[in-house]
Amino acid sequence: MPNIARDQARSERAAKFRALMLVVPILLFLLVVFIGPVVKLLSRSVDDRDVASALPQTAQALAEWRWGTPLPDAAYGAMVGDLRAASTPANLAPAAGRLNYSLPGMRALLMTTRTKLQALDRPEADPKSILISLSAKWAEPATWANIRQAAGPITDFYLLTAVDLKRDFDGSIARVPPSQSSFLPSIRTTFVIAFTVTLLAIVFGFPFAYLMASATERVAGIMMFVVLLPFLTATMVRILAWGILLGREGVINYGLLSSGLVDGPLDLLYNRTAVNIALLHIFVPYMILPLYSVMKTVPLSHMRAAASLGAPPFTAFRRVYLPQIAPGLAAGSLLVFIQCLGVFVVPAILGGAQEQGLPSLIAHYVNKTLNWGLAAALSVILLVSVYLVYWLFVTLTKSASLSLGTR
């Protein structure tokens, strides 16, 4: 008898296992193609091994040194040894780049010192004076402190930089002077745009969804068509459409000029309003569709019951209607908000310099300066924000799945 019980437990497990095997492929696929790479990118935000691998002796010699104490003499010899060991400039390039991020001028210092050292005979004899003779910067403790801080293997340099903070040589964290800072304003821009557009989507999407849910089937069908058609049209097409509508030589200016309302074309493009209008246009279906699908399920009798029980319309709306459609409102707000946080193309085409947020910065550091560490750190900030909002949604609605609702 126990054998039978075991067989049966096993066959029940086997059924679960077979079902799980159907889910495994997508999990593996996403792990390899998407999640793995994202984790790898994020890990670059704390990864700091370039300097230690290019200047191993120096890193070791500086390991015990503290800011404010005299520099150990061994450091000079180690540096000379490391630089002479780098047979080509390319061997030194990643480390030089990294040191240059935290202390401008370091790349040039390392490269020229290396070249000059190659020309010298036996510089090991008196490394300290030779190095200082090659560049006065080698006499400055900041140069060495910079190397020590970058000796890895992990660092908080990129993450601090991404929020306009820096670690002073004595180890304390300080604000970057406002003149040098560039990241916090971008982060603020991203959030302000996301909040504005989500709010606009609620303000416009809610009555529209309500209208749809209470309209006759035919009218609701037409409205659904009006929502879905732009939704299925490629974002690029919609962005260009807004560009052509709002441009200096665009449709609106053409209309205004030919009707004589204005004397010269208005600057409607490359500002916050243009970005907000286009983003609302692109993302408002994500608000309307879930709202509509929950509004359809709220029976008419509930509002009537509330009225018959003496609730004035607004009270009935707040106490009876709103709680029932809250899941749709939450889903819609989440979808709009997190997509706005990640939006990149719309500000790039329709916005001015003031509208470039975190995603634009991330793209910039990858494309232009190849500063992967900083791009990764900015990605960490963006991703943590997105997942905080998502986590809030999952806890509030007890559902991990983001559905637009079944029609």
Partner 1 sequence: MKPSVEFRNISKSYDNQTLVIRDLNLSIERGEFLTLLGPSGSGKTTALMMLAGFEMPTTGEIFVEGQPYSALPAHKRDIGVVFQNYALFPHMSVAENIAFPLQVRGHGPKDLDRRVKAALDMVRLPEISARKPAQLSGGQQQRVALARALVYEPKIVLMDEPLGALDRQLREEMQIEIKSIHARVGVTFVYVTHDQGEALTMSDRVAIFRKGVIEQIADPQTLYDRPCNAFVATFIGDSNLLRGTIVGRGGGQATVAMPGGGTLDARAGDNGAGKDAYVSVRPEKIDVSAGCIDRGVGNILAGTVDKTVFFGDHVKVSIRLEGGQLLAVKTGTTEPYKNGQTVTASWRAEDCVAFTAPPTRDTAVVETTVQV
Partner 2 sequence: MTQRAMTSALSLANRAALGIFGVMFCIYLLGPILAFIPMSFNDVALLHYPIERFSLRWYSNLVASSEWRLALLNSVVVATSATVLATILGVCAAFGLWRGRFRGHSIIMVVIMTPMIVPSVIGAISMYFSFAEIGMDYTYSALILAHTAMAAPIVVVTVSAVLARFDGNLLRAAASLGADPLLAFRKVTLPLIMPGVVSGAVFAFAISLDDVVVALFLAGPDQRTLPVQMYMRSTDLFDLATAAAAAMMFIVAVAMMIFLELLRRRDRLAPVAKAADSRR
327 binds, among partner 2, partner 1, none (CB under 5 to 8 A by kind): none
Any contact of residue 237 with partner 1 (CB under 8 A)? no
7 binds, among partner 2, partner 1, none (CB under 5 to 8 A by kind): partner 1
- CB 67 to partner 2: min, Å: 34
CA dihedral for 305, 309, 314, 315, sign (positive or negative) = negative
Identify the CA nearest to 135 among candidates 117, 150, 155, 158: 117
Alpha carbon distance 290, 273 (integer Å):
26
238 binds, among partner 1, partner 2, none (CB under 5 to 8 A by kind): partner 2
SS3 129: helix
Of residues 9-38, which lie at the interface with partner 1 (CB under 8 A)? 9, 11-12
Sole window of 2-10, 89-97, 131-139, 245-253 interacting with partner 1 (rule: CB under 8 A): 2-10
Sole window of 3-11, 133-141, 200-208, 307-315 interacting with partner 1 (rule: CB under 8 A): 3-11
- CB 6 to partner 1: min, Å: 10
Q: Is the peptide bond before 265 cis (omega within 30 degrees of 0)?
A: no
Of 65 and 210, CB closest to partner 2: 210
Alpha carbon distance 55, 110 (integer Å):
11
Q: Are 85 and 188 in contact (CB under 8 A)?
A: no
Provide the token pair at 399. 């559902």
What is the identity of the amino acid at 86?
A
Residue bearing tokens 């300097």: 51
- 193 burial level (CB within 10 Å; 0-12, 13-18, 19+): buried
Provide the token pair at 365. 């550091």
Of residues 34-63, which lie at the interface with partner 2 (CB under 8 A)? 34-38, 40-41, 44
139 binds, among partner 1, partner 2, none (CB under 5 to 8 A by kind): none
Alpha carbon distance 220, 231 (integer Å):
16
Sole window of 85-93, 150-158, 160-168, 362-370 interacting with partner 2 (rule: CB under 8 A): 362-370
Of 191 and 372, CB closest to partner 2: 372
Of 171 and 313, CB closest to partner 2: 313
Sole window of 1-9, 116-124, 165-173, 361-369 interacting with partner 2 (rule: CB under 8 A): 361-369
Q: Are 379 and 42 in contact (CB under 8 A)?
A: yes
Q: Helix 358-367 vs helix 183-214: angle between axes, to the nearest 10 degrees?
A: 130
Q: Are 159 and 45 in contact (CB under 8 A)?
A: yes
Among 241, 256, 266, 330, binds partner 2 (CB under 8 A): 241
Any contact of residue 281 with partner 2 (CB under 8 A)? yes
- CB 184 to partner 2: min, Å: 19
Among 208, 270, 283, 286, binds partner 2 (CB under 8 A): 208
Provide the token pair at 378. 């900015």
Query: What residue ranges bind partner 1 (CB under 8 A)?
Result: 1, 4-5, 7-9, 11-12
